[in-house]
Chain A
Amino acid sequence: MAQHDDGVTDGSPVDDHTAAGSSLEKAMPHDSGIAVLTDDLMENPGFPPHRPRQTDLDPKKDKRAEKQVTFLFYLSIVGSIFAVAAYVAFPIVPGDMESVRTNNLLLGLGIALGMLGIGLGAVHWAKQLMSDIELVEERHGTRGTDATRAKAVEIFALGNKESGFTRRGLIRNSLIGALVLTPIPAVVLFRDLAPAADPIPLLQHTVWKKGTRLTRDPSGTPIKASDVTIGSAFHVIPEGLNELDDKLEEKAKAAVLLMRLKPEDLHVTAGRETWNYDGIVAYSKICTHVGCPVALYEQQTHHLLCPCHQSQFDITHEAAVIFGPANRPLPQLPITIDSEGYLVARSDFHEPVGPSFWERQF
């Protein structure tokens, strides 16, 4: 390790430059590829003279820096004590959000001061008072020396010879075969991460069935057709959903948006004439892209917008995709009214709701 404090050094890096990247290469000749190696390069001028700091030149400055560092460390002590004091003095009063904020603020400031005092002090110490004379360390090629490598090769050869790893091919191959198979039970073990039942039927059906009332989300109160004025939209869940054990799983499939348009605005395809009730239509709220709730209804244009990835669906055209990454229209829930005038489902959705999956069959 050479030490330099002016342009002239014992490590003579000036000479080193011509050797830059070459003393290594001499030891282990390497392909320089397409690098242009020429003798006409400039020479490394060596280290510039060391410039002393104020603290090196002026004992007063040195003393002052020392005091500053000590002050910072004391400040850290103050910060840590303050943090403990704040913890005790500013407890959280249940229900009082202001006390949470005060506790968070003062405790945090105390800890920050405790940390910053040490950190700034240590860095200041290093920069002002510790030696700033740069040292030089020689690099050595990363690869082992030829002797070391020869020894390593010899050890492997010996290991091979003594075990017969290459010679006894039968043993080796059967070992490899055994090793390949051992992780398989570990993979199989993960089958019971989910229940035995096939997931596909679960994805194909929801809790909607013939006669299920449409109710408000989240209260669960039923909706009369007369409550749905033109231009309004309701977030809907099936009746009885809130009492289910797997409420969230069913809701993730069964959530519906209900809107009323002027019947003449609806473009109804053949076979779906009875699916709306006097301009009231119900569509799955789960986006056919990756399953976000399509929660934004634009009353004027009758467009539904998914806030996650901006797919847009046109309700006047049976929720056809008019923009964005989704490909399929939102599935429509066929609805009608029961004897009391409440909106009910005619059946379940006629196709799986939500994001596409491999076995979906459209």
Chain B
Amino acid sequence: MGASVLTTATRSPAAPVEESRGSRFTGWAANYVDERTSISGLVKELGRKIFPDHWSFMLGEVALYSFVVILLSGTFLTFFFQASMTSVIYDGSYAPLKGIEMSNAMQSTLDISFDIRGGLLMRQIHHWAALLFIASIGLHMLRIYFTGAFRKPREINWVVGFILFILAMAEGFTGYSLPDDLLSGNGLRIIDGLIKGIPIVGTWISYLLFGSQFPGTDIVPRLFTLHILLLPAILVAALGIHLVLLVINKHTQFAGPGKTNNNVVGVPIMPTFAAKAGGFFFIIFGVIALIASLFTINPIWTYGPYDPSPVSAGTQPDWYIGFADGALRLVPPHLEWLWGPYTFSLNIFLPVVVLGLFIVVVMFYPFLEAWVTGDKREHHIADRPRNAPTRTAIGAAGVTFYAVLWGAASSDLIATHFLISIEGVITTLQILLIVGPIIAYFVTKRICIGLMKKDREIALHGYESGRIVRLPGGEYIEVHEQLDPYERWRLISFEDYQPLMVRPNAKGEITVAQRVRAGLSNWFFEDRIAPVSRTELAAAHGDAHGALEGDAGAHGAIGH
């Protein structure tokens, strides 16, 4: 440990035992640094900090490490990429495009791909890492949501994390547009149309963003500045806050024997967690490098330079922007009106508003749920999704809504691959967008409650052992085996809530807010399964002391 090395180092002249040169140097270096930084305090504080272990806790790590890979590979790319839309005649090694007029940005991207050793590899590592970054953030958010890990004291960190998600998508879009190829140019064209559709200010925002009429010659350098300077700076700052809050709040853990709301059970940073997490970084980097060496991503040379006239069939954005593109496709027809001298394009503004609302609701969900439950305690035990049926059902509805929008971004490909009409696909998806989340909500809620009932049944009466016994009276029964107390604890340790009762306040009034809150609370908790209590378990076993004090293995109860 650093601390012990340190102490021996400070009194090494008097130390009776001769130390190796290596340990003397380590001691000297540790002493040197500590006398100038008092870093020993940090090591003492964090060195043996405990991290709970669960596979789903790695999702955030994947995001973090792929971001590091993005920074490293991106830095390499900036040494060669030229963010300029000056027109040049291509004269690189890719024969099919020789003599074609294109922007400097496109040419330098082709040069990175075909003339610089390892350039294509770095481009592909950068792109694959970016995809992994966004995918892992998405899964990480789902994990946090479905386990209720956003509850007090982590609501703020949920918001910070959500901002990171938005920033990651913004980074993705700005980066995707930089090569100035045909596909990304069409993406920018859509963004231009989208911005122009914003009432009152749209035309001017588009004009200022593109520096002239679309496409102009300014957008690539401007996006480049956003992509490598402004957005990463904000992202790194938000990431720093995210991690500091993680350390302050300490990680959540799943319920388990010995684990309580007041402790953290797991492995210490030094050495086990550091080795696992550090090793995991290298695994992530290695896997991305492996994918990048084997699989092509974004082959801009097959698309060619941007030209406003051609477009390829089956055009779609990178998958993480798909939900927005899908929203544009699913808008009902004829939503555009003339208001006096002005054009109001609801067909464009509606998706913007709906997606904006969706984002806001997701972002503020922790506060919404806290208000409904009125629960002001700290929660450090992550819920099993089934134990919060309404929350899980809302989540499933949200996921369905997103998934339908996302699928809609490929509506034309769905139609051509399955040989069905594009109109049919769109209409079906329009209906699904409304009906799908409702179905998902009810189905999920019922599944959760069913699982809770099953858990309760197993906790109370044990599990089916498959052993059939014939009783003296001739009756056949199946013997139920009891769970051991550790296994049972995982099934029964969750919290129970009752719907809020409407009560008059100090003035003797019942406010509207109170009624809404009670209504929501009722919606949340009216269907619920209470955790198994001591009395129930004792009754089920016909044993006043319950199973916990006995040896569980020998406690084979006979099923009913």
Residues on A facing B (Cβ under 8 Å) = 1, 4, 9, 11, 13, 16-17, 19-21, 23-25, 30-36, 38, 40-48, 87, 91-92, 94-97, 100, 103-109, 111-123, 125-127, 130-132, 134-139, 141-142, 190-191, 193-195, 199-200, 202-203, 217-218, 235, 237, 246, 248-249, 251-253, 255, 285-287, 289-293, 295-296, 305, 307-310, 321, 323-328, 354-362
Contact = CB atoms under 8 A, between A and B. Distances in A.
A292 B189 contact: yes
Given A42-B493, A107-B117, A122-B282, A321 B333 contact: yes
B311 A20 contact: no
B6 to A, nearest CB: 20
Contacts of B115: 92, 94
Nearest to A38: B533
A360 B343 contact: yes
Interface string B295-315: 000000000001111111111
Nearest to A88: B117
A123 B280 contact: yes
A310 B124 contact: no
B124 to A, nearest CB: 7
Interface string B142-165: 000000000001000000000000
B110 to A, nearest CB: 11
Nearest to A131: B272
Contacts of A1: 48, 50
Contacts of A95: 93, 95
B311 A24 contact: no
B141 interface: no
A193 B221 CA distance: 12
Contact of B422 (A105, A308, A310): A310
Given A34-B521, A237-B309, A251-B308, A108 B290 contact: yes
Ranked 8 nearest A-B pairs via Cβ: A108-B293, A290-B193, A122-B279, A33-B374, A119-B282, A115-B286, A119-B283, A116-B286
B497 A34 contact: yes
Nearest to B245: A142
Contact of B267 (A91, A96, A135): A135
B53 to A, nearest CB: 8
Given A116-B286, A292-B311, A123 B275 contact: yes
A35 to B, nearest CB: 5
Interface stretch (B14-22, B171-179, B376-384, B444-452): B376-384
Interface in B481-532: 485-486, 488-489, 492-493, 495-500, 521, 525, 530-532
Contacts of B546: 42
Given A249-B215, A361-B341, A34 B117 contact: no
Given A122-B282, A137-B263, A248 B306 contact: yes
A34 B533 contact: no
A94 B271 CA distance: 49
B197 A357 contact: yes
B174 to A, nearest CB: 16
B347 A289 contact: yes
Contacts of A43: 534, 548
Contacts of A357: 196-197, 202-203, 206, 343, 345
A62 B409 CA distance: 53
Nearest to A235: B309
20 contacts: A19-B262, A87-B117, A92-B93, A92-B114, A111-B121, A119-B286, A121-B279, A122-B276, A126-B279, A136-B263, A139-B250, A249-B215, A293-B308, A295-B309, A310-B329, A324-B329, A326-B347, A357-B345, A358-B342, A360-B342
Contacts of A125: 275, 279
B216 A290 contact: no
Contacts of A323: 333, 422-423, 426
B393 interface: no
Contacts of B531: 41-42
Contact of B258 (A46, A305, A321, A354): A46
Contact of A194 (B192, B210, B285, B338): B210
A41 to B, nearest CB: 6
Nearest to A310: B422
B343 A356 contact: yes
Contacts of A291: 189-190, 192-193, 214
Interface in B341-364: 341-345, 347-348
Contact of A34 (B271, B345, B525): B525
Contacts of B286: 111-117, 119
A115 B196 CA distance: 47
Interface residues of B, number: 142
Given A48-B486, A116-B290, A327-B333, A310 B411 contact: yes
Contacts of B342: 358-361
B399 interface: no
Nearest to A40: B533
Interface in B213-248: 213-216, 218, 248
B335 interface: yes
Which of A11, A16, A195, A252 has the most chain B CB atoms closer than 10 A to its own CB? Answer: A252
B200 interface: yes
A151 to B, nearest CB: 19
Contact of B196 (A11, A108, A194, A356): A356
B373 interface: yes
B192 A325 contact: no
A42 B548 contact: yes
B428 interface: no
B258 A48 contact: yes
Nearest to B120: A104
Nearest to A199: B207
Given A34-B498, A108-B292, A44 B309 contact: no
Contacts of A252: 189, 213-215, 308
Which of A87, A125, A307 has the most chain B CB atoms closer than 10 A to its own CB? Answer: A307
B262 A23 contact: yes
A24 B492 contact: no
B521 A292 contact: no
Contact of B197 (A48, A235, A355): A355
A307 B263 contact: no
B93 A35 contact: no
B556 interface: no
A254 to B, nearest CB: 9
Contacts of B264: 136-139
A132 B258 contact: no
A127 to B, nearest CB: 7
Contact of A119 (B215, B281, B375, B380): B281
Nearest to A237: B309
A108 B294 contact: yes
B212 interface: yes
Contacts of B560: none
Contacts of A295: 309-311, 313
B74 interface: no
Contacts of B289: 108, 111-112, 115
